[in-house]
A = this chain, B = another copy of it.
Amino acid sequence: MLRKHTYDDELEQSRRKGQGMKQSIARFNPNAGSDRFDRSNREPLFEKAVTPSDVGKLNRLVIPKQHAEKHFPLQSGGNNSSSTTKGVLLNFEDAAGKVWRFRYSYWNSSQSYVLTKGWSRFVKEKGLKAGDIVSFQRSAAAAGEEERQLYIDWRPRVGPNQAVCSVVQPVHMVRLFGVNIFKLPGSSGDGGGGCNGKRSVREMEMVAFECSKKQRIIGAL
């Protein structure tokens, strides 16, 4: 009732700006533009190792505030607070050229920026697991006032043998999201980096974050 026209409004607005056109081109003509897969023209923005919540049932990705405010300003419109209130729809192109449309907004209650609508589909299709790295880029073209194309990509989490945190303190309690995971069966490293996964979500989460509870920003680019 309250937000009856939100989605269509945003869609229409986006279409007028030309992104909708791009999207349809991308979908129906993957080969359009010989440089579609040329990533040399992309400027990396930031990466995030997704948390269990990011890939769980909350259907949202928390964008670290520093990167959100730097790269995805919300109140650019300036005239009112509708963009901050309702958020905006952003289009991201993945490695295959498929365009993903995410709702991007700010949650006053938690003072955080999030991708909500559409995100769960991305998680599902890519088979994202906790600890995997999601990266954002945009076209580096100096397009003036034109909005630049945004890109999203991902890669499996760094394996346990690759030792992001090479030294583990000799503590007797390792808390991961409130659970003591210090003494766990099967602490043997998960050899494959695989996205194939039949392993339990729980185990996955535990291994993925064994080194640090704090989120890892791989690159503040």
Binding site for B on A (CB under 8 A): 2-5, 108, 111, 172-173, 180, 183-184, 186
Contacts and interface: CB of A to CB of B under 8 A. Distances in A.
B111 A2 contact: yes
A44 to B, nearest CB: 26
Nearest to A117: B109
Question: Chain A at the B interface: mostly helix, strand, loop or mixed?
Answer: loop
Contacts of A180: 173
B184 A4 contact: no
A3 B173 CA distance: 35
Contacts of A108: 4-5
Top 7 closest A-B pairs, CB basis? Answer: A172-B184, A173-B184, A4-B108, A5-B108, A2-B111, A173-B180, A3-B111
9 contacts: A2-B111, A3-B111, A4-B108, A5-B108, A172-B183, A172-B184, A172-B186, A173-B180, A173-B184
Nearest to A172: B184
A93 to B, nearest CB: 26
A154 B186 CA distance: 39
A3 to B, nearest CB: 7
A101 to B, nearest CB: 15
A28 to B, nearest CB: 39
A200 to B, nearest CB: 11
A183 B188 CA distance: 13
A121 to B, nearest CB: 16
Nearest to A85: B2
Nearest to A3: B111
Contacts of A3: 111
Nearest to A180: B173
A6 B52 CA distance: 27
